[in-house]
Amino acid sequence: MAPSSQAVKKLVPLEPGQDNEFQSWQWLVFFLCFYGFMSQMRPGESFMTPYLLVPNKNFTKEQVTNEIMPVLSYSYLVVLVPIFLLTDYLRYKPVLLLQGLSYIAVWLLLLFGRSVLHMQFMEFFYSLTMASRIAYSSYIFSLVRPAQYQRMAGYSRTAVLLGVFTSSVLGQLLVTVGRVSFTELNYISLAFLTFSLVLTIFLKRPKRSLFFNRIEPARGGASPSELDQMHPGPGQSTGKKLNRTLLVGWGDCILVRMLRELRDSLRLPQLRLWSLWWIFNSAGYYLIVFYVHILWNVIDPTKDTTRVYNGGTDAASTLLGAITSFAAGFVKIRWALWAKLIIGAVTAVQGGLVFLMYSTSSIWLCYAAFVLFRGFYQFLVPIAIFQIASSLSKELCALIFGINTFLATVLKTIIILIVSDKRGLGLLVRSQFLVYFMYFMVLSIAYFLGALLGSLWHFRRGHHQPLPLAQELRSPLEEKATPMQSLQDGALSNLQPEATTLALEDSVWTSGPVSREQPEAKA
């Protein structure tokens, strides 16, 4: 079959229009990946906390821990939903410009700010950049056809990870080998960010988006969204006037249908499990990521900047996270049976690593524990994405990822307000890590109890038949209509690395749409 198809391709020459389209696609992929790579080139980012603690900035550890850092979480919670809606409504490019300008504002305040208030404004602008990261991953899917989603996700994710890795390595080399000061390193970061902002100006603004700009004119009518194809409304075939009416009533019609579909999907136990994992574990993960740099400075308060290895640690953790994410695509486990047990084990290991970071006086042990901590988290991210998104339309996928991220942000903000903020307990960073250790231990115990109760329930019900190798999530209607044999055809081997690249930069709001097309038959 494969040789014959190749022969046909050789016999049939490409038409001039097809050749131009292919060249246009190549250029689009290259430019978007180059932009994604350059937007991550911030070599001073790994050294922001040590920079704030140098004598010429004159901030104390208590000010950074209890007054400056909490503002990031508060601001992120406030801007998250508005930025998500504006990203879709404004069709991505304006939000990408906002992200570029916010990054420049962050580094200008870092370089020239002198007060705690200046640094709090810096954290606010940094929260804007975090919330705006959805724009890039959503933007790339708005410019290509659904058949190209998977490849585009792989290319863009690779570019982003390569950019983060290169930026961290470059920053470490400049500090350790080049003996560049933190101030000079921040000027270099500002130059990279300015160049990235210039690249943003040349990005093409798409004509469609996921929610607000879903219906675009075509030759014979309109191009409905995926949700419209799943649940066609009574006015789909009546022409442009009624299409405009549907757009006006989007909030009363489409959103209601989406929420109803989401309610039905939440009846699936695996969807609930992985959504809860995303909410609780990602909240704990970001607490560690936000405050670990301060802990490093407490463990090793060296005045010699060439001995600060934050950049190398970030590079190593990024590389290990990419490797574990890639490896997760080839793991074959009966997730419907073992998910809670595996989640509990991974969470317990993460808790142990957090305790090691809390208790050790060796900076190298703390570095290694953090690298492993991020690697374990990134291992479960693509599996959670697959389990959540495998039965959802891309609209519902974006909605549920957004809800999970928002709830995780709310939980993380509450913990910071109680534990870290000076208006709460105002704990020192070491004491905070002890609290985070107990948080992960409570989560792991809850997962183990859930696994035990689930096993007892299956035993009492007498369900001894083997479960499918990797049970995919489906809606209740599909479960009734699809024979049991089809479950075994949905093995986790279908989870290729390119399809697990929805979580772009440690943030679910950076998730792109999931292609719902059936895989082509293999030769």
Retrieve residue 419's tokens: 């534990």
pLDDT of residue 438: 96
Please give the DSSP secondary-structure letter assigned to residue 197. Answer: H
The predicted model gives 209-230 an average pLDDT of 48
pLDDT of residue 288: 95
Quick check: 203 and 35 in contact, CB under 8 A?
yes
CATH number of 22-207: 1.20.1250.20
Q: Which residue has the tokens 């991020």?
A: 374
Average predicted confidence (pLDDT) for the chain: 76
Residue 367 confidence (pLDDT) above 70: yes
pLDDT of residue 454: 78
Partners of residue 223 on adjacent β-strands: 216
Distance CA 119, CA 126 (A): 10
- Residue 255 — pLDDT band, cuts 50, 70, 90? low
pLDDT of residue 269: 76
Residue 147 confidence (pLDDT) above 90: no
Q: What would the DSSP string read from start to end of 384-405? A: HHHHHHTTS-HHHHHHHHHHHH
CATH number of 261-462: 1.20.1250.20
Enumerate the CATH 1.20.1250.20 domain ranges in the chain, comma separated. Answer: 22-207, 261-462
Higher pLDDT, 58 or 11: 58
Q: Where are the alpha helices (DSSP H) in 300-359?
A: 310-328, 335-359
Residue 163 confidence (pLDDT) above 60: yes
Retrieve residue 315's tokens: 């590079």
pLDDT in tens, 375-395: 999 888 888 887 777 666 666
Inter-CA distances, 442 with 81, 278, 279, 325, Å: 29, 15, 14, 25
Range list of β-strands (E), 69-130: none
CB-based contacts of 139: which residues, under 8 Å, 6+ apart? 32, 92, 93, 96, 203, 206
- Residue 6 — pLDDT band, cuts 50, 70, 90? very low
3 burial type by CB count under 10 A (0-12 exposed, 13-18 middle, 19+ buried): exposed
What is the pTM for the complete model shown?
A: 0.75
